[in-house]
Chain A
Amino acid sequence: MSPGARLVAVLGVLALVLLLVGAAALFVGSAALSPGAVLAALTGRTGARSIESVVTLSIRLPRIAVAALAGGALAVAGVAFQALTRNPLAEPSVLGVSGGAAFGVVIGQSVGLGFGVLGAAGLTAFAFAGAVVAAGAVYLVAGAGRLSVQTLLLAGVIVGLFFASAITVVISFVDVNRLGGVIHWLLGNLATIPPASLGLFALTAAAGLALVLPHARELNLLALGEEAAQQLGVDAERLKLQIFAGAALLTASVVAFAGPIGFVGLIVPHALRLLLGPDNRLLVPAAFVGGGIFLLAADTVARSIVAPAELSVGVITSFCGAPFFVWLLRTRYRALL
């Protein structure tokens, strides 16, 4: 099969799975609607003002969209950080980048940014600044130049812990009424967001994706080493800067709208590499759809397992991700450590 045909086939299958999981998620939730009621709401037979219609179309559907978008963004950020650092275990939360973005959001909230689409735009800017600072700090701590796998991970852990403490400091000083709900948000918490904010989220995630996706071929060359990539005509410095900006933007948008959800950028790219191989031209778009499938499934569990209460989706991804990380470390990447 030609690479183009393979890409179309893989994306087609993944998109179909995403649609199926999304459709299933519409029927699940604590409101206990019958499948018939959901179908009636979807086909418009209940009237736009019925409870069934509001639950299905105004609460579940936007949340499904947020979950799919956030999962895709995080998975692509994972692929990007892994290619950028040539480290298979790099990922926004492991690298401390999510922690930096979260610190940015908490600062933004404590100066009064909050509800509404303008507030969300401001929070995204704060998150992006935090992500850039954190990633820069990891780079400095690990020592610029060739980064060994363990040095980079250690630097990421240190920076992540630093920002976690910084967040605690802010929470201790700021009126709790400004930061209420922050504990749930820090675990990674998907919620139904208004259409304007959802549009803004989609735009920022698309901008991040647009910085990474066109350079997938060059990322393959970068895997050979920077010098080799240079010799093959890749402007490595410029490429790294673009990928870095894209990954930071993807991470920041998710953190601003859903909180620092961990491990999606690790689980999804690795699962897809096992299935599809390491070619980034296939991996980057596949990770966007695959990440959506994974986080959507995790969120559907999170919002139905303890109904009528809810869990934060980050709890589910961490319960999956932490053992997966250990498994990767003990089996596939033993030789690297």
Chain B
Amino acid sequence: MTDTDQQLANADKKNFETSASAITVKLVYFAWVRERVGKGEETLSPPSEVRTIADLMVWLGARGPEYADVFEAKKDVVRAAINQNHVPPQTSLEGAREIAFFPPVTGG
């Protein structure tokens, strides 16, 4: 391996480490999710092992009783959106800037 190769390998490693670190994402809550959590929005940086909406709900559920009241107690009912599009729980958080949690919709 030449010095240049070594430098490239190091650069790659560094990039990987950067991408593996926590993402920062805006979370927004609506209706009884907002009321139970006690706020309408917040910005959080979940750890890198949180890869999907389902992972994020487990992680949020461990943040305190008000979160557990939604993300554990109501985990089968709560719906999610990434960047304002409805998504199922197994969806990856990659590219997520805004993640919303809310009850099933009741408009019309």
Q: Do the two shown chains form a genuine complex with each other?
A: no
